[in-house]
Structure 1
Amino acid sequence: MAAKDNRQVGPEHVAIIMDGNGRWATRRGLPRLRGHKAGSGRVREIVRACPDQGVRFLTLFAFSTENWRRARTEVVGLMALFRRHLRSEADELFDSGVRVRFIGERDALNPRLQTLMAELEDRTRDNDRLHLTIALNYGSRNEIARAAARLAEAVARGELNAKDITADHLGCQLETADIPDPDLVIRTSGETRISNFLLWQSAYAEYEFTPVLWPDFSADHMADILLNFGTRERRFGAVLT
Structure 2
Amino acid sequence: MTSSEETSRLPKHVAIIMDGNNRFAKKNQMQKGDGHREGKNVLDPIVEHCRSNNIQALTVFAFSSENWNRPQFEVDLLMKLLQETILEQLPRMEKFNIALRFIGDRSRLSAQLRDLMLHAEERTANFNSMTLTIAISYGGMWDMAQAAQRVAADVLAKKINLDAIDADVFGQYVSLSDLPPVDLLIRTGGDFRLSNFLLWQAAYAELYFTETLWPEFTVEELDDAFAVFAGRERRFGKTSEQVQQKQLEN
TM, length-normalised to structure 1: 0.94
**Consecutive aligned runs of 4 or more in structure 1 exceeding 4 Å deviation:** none
CA deviations 1:38-74 (Å, max 9, x no partner) are 0011111101111222312100000001000000000
Q: Which residue is equivalent to 1:98?
A: 98
Q: Give the Å deviation of 1:88.
A: 2.2
Does the 8 A contact of 1:23 with 1:32 survive in 2?
A: no
Q: Which residue is equivalent to 2:245?
A: none
1:89 equivalenced with 2:119 (yes/no):
no
Matched residues in 1 for 2:116 and 2:142: separation?
24
1:132 equivalenced with 2:132 (yes/no):
yes
Matched residues in 1 for 2:91 and 2:48: separation?
13
Q: Give the Å deviation of 1:8.
A: 4.0
Question: Which amino acid in structure 2 is aligned with residue 72 of structure 1?
Answer: Q
Q: Mind listing any 5+ residue stretches in structure 2 that lack a counterpart?
A: 1-6, 242-250
SS of 2:237's partner is coil
Q: Which residue is equivalent to 1:226?
A: 226
Question: Which amino acid in structure 2 is aligned with residue 219 of structure 1?
Answer: V
Q: Give the Å deviation of 1:206.
A: 0.3
Q: Give the Å deviation of 1:136.
A: 0.6
Matched residues in 1 for 2:12 and 2:219: separation?
16
Q: Which residue is equivalent to 1:44?
A: 44
Q: Which residue is equivalent to 2:61?
A: 61
Q: Give the Å deviation of 1:157.
A: 2.3
Bigger mean CA deviation after superposition, 62-71 or 43-52? 43-52
Higher RCO, 1 vs 2 (CA within 8 Å, ≥6 residues apart): 1
Matched residues in 1 for 2:62 and 2:218: separation?
17
Q: Which residues of 2 match residues 3-22 of structure 1 at below 5 A?
A: 8-22=8-22
Q: Which residues of 2 match residues 137-216 of structure 1 at below 5 A?
A: 137-216=137-216
CA deviations 1:207-226 (Å, max 9, x no partner) are 00000000000111101110
Matched residues in 1 for 2:156 and 2:96: separation?
45
Task: State how many pairs are aligned.
Answer: 235
Question: Which amino acid in structure 2 is aligned with residue 108 of structure 1?
Answer: R
Matched residues in 2 for 1:234 and 1:130: separation?
23
CA RMSD of superposed structures (Å): 1.3
Matched residues in 1 for 2:31 and 2:167: separation?
44
The structure with the largest helix share of the pair is 2
Bigger mean CA deviation after superposition, 221-230 or 161-170? 161-170
Question: Which amino acid in structure 2 is aligned with residue 93 of structure 1?
Answer: M
SS of 1:198's partner is coil
**1:8/1:96 Cα in 2 relative to 1: closer, same or farther (>3 Å)?**
closer
CA deviations 1:3-44 (Å, max 9, x no partner) are xxxx94110110000000011001122233110110011111
SS of 2:33's partner is helix
Question: Which amino acid in structure 2 is aligned with residue 234 of structure 1?
Answer: R
**1:32/1:181 Cα in 2 relative to 1: closer, same or farther (>3 Å)?**
farther
Q: Which residue is equivalent to 1:237?
A: 237
Question: Which amino acid in structure 1 is aligned with residue 48 of structure 2?
Answer: R
SS of 1:90's partner is helix
Matched residues in 2 for 1:14 and 1:208: separation?
11
Question: Which amino acid in structure 1 is aligned with residue 178 of structure 2?
Answer: D
Matched residues in 1 for 2:57 and 2:172: separation?
18
Does the 8 A contact of 1:11 with 1:55 survive in 2?
A: yes
Q: Give the Å deviation of 1:165.
A: 1.2
SS of 2:186's partner is strand
